[in-house]
């Protein structure tokens, strides 16, 4: 199954060749004549509604939508220490994972490593495979922006002390085990849940 998820505030737009298995009700949208900007303008900021477009060619439709938006590339990491704990940050009153924009001339993987080290004051030992990509749409200077974030699996040696980058709005950085995730899942972004699923910290719904 080919599936793309675009996150817009608390809403999700799913583009797929068939509906994914999930418990919440999904609102269907016709592919014919679909205009992403018009769709965005009609959305409520806090409705937390999943919408879906079922398409014979989800990739082509996703690429068509991308062409109407300004693309920003970002990169981040799901970091594990020697005790099997994972690195989480608290920013803008929500649990998050360290990430940031890719600088000019910088590779995606390289950017992810740099951002994690800058935001949390750690030294990354290994920067491994890409776990997933997430897509988030928001307004910036009157334009609709699509932020594409690549997420990588990373490790550190031992259990280093974390130093949150306060100037980036990070109020705390903590090592958490998979069993500590209940509080994180209650107060995080849907895209972060996707990363945790990709990293096998939580199970995919069937």
Q: What is the pLDDT of residues 139-157, one digit of tens each?
A: 999 899 999 999 999 999 9
What domains does the chain contain, in order, with CATH numbers? 3-66 (no CATH), 70-198 (3.90.79.10)
Q: What percent of the chain has pLDDT over 90?
A: 83
Structure confidence at residue 22 as a pLDDT band (50, 70, 90): low
Task: Return the pLDDT at 117.
Answer: 98
Residue that the structure tokens 């209650």 belong to: 186
Q: Are 16 and 55 in contact (CB under 8 A)?
A: yes
Q: Are 130 and 151 in contact (CB under 8 A)?
A: yes
Task: Return the pLDDT at 206.
Answer: 36
Q: Is the pLDDT of residue 110 over 90?
A: yes
**Residues 134, 7: Cα–Cα separation, whole Å:** 8
Residue that the structure tokens 């997933």 belong to: 132
User: φ and ψ at 109, to 5 degrees?
Assistant: -65, -40
Query: Between the CA of residue 42 and those of 73, 120, 201, what are the distances in Å?
Result: 26, 38, 35
> What is the reported pTM?
0.91
Task: Return the pLDDT at 17.
Answer: 92
Q: Is the pLDDT of residue 165 over 80?
A: yes
* Mean per-residue pLDDT, 108-125: 97
């Amino acid at each position: 199954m080919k599936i793309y998820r675009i996150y817009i505030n608390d809403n999700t737009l799913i583009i797929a060749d068939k509906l994914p298995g999930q418990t919440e009700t999904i609102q269907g949208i016709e592919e014919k004549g679909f205009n992403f900007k018009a769709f965005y303008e009609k959305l409520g900021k806090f409705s937390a509604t999943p919408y879906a477009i079922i398409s014979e060619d989800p990739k082509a439709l996703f690429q068509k939508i991308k062409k109407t938006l300004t693309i920003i590339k970002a990169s981040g990491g799901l970091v594990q220490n020697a005790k099997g704990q994972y690195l989480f940050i608290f920013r803008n009153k929500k649990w998050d994972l360290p990430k940031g924009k890719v600088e000019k001339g910088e590779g995606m993987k390289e950017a992810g490593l740099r951002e994690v080290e800058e935001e949390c004051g750690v030294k990354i030992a290994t920067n491994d495979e890409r776990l997933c990509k997430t897509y988030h749409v928001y307004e910036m200077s009157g334009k609709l922006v699509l932020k594409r974030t690549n997420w990588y699996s990373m490790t550190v040696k031992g259990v280093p002390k974390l130093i949150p980058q306060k100037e980036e709005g990070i109020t705390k950085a903590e090592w958490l085990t998979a069993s500590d995730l209940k509080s994180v899942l209650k107060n995080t972004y849907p895209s972060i849940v996707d990363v945790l699923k990709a990293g096998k910290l939580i199970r995919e719904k069937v």
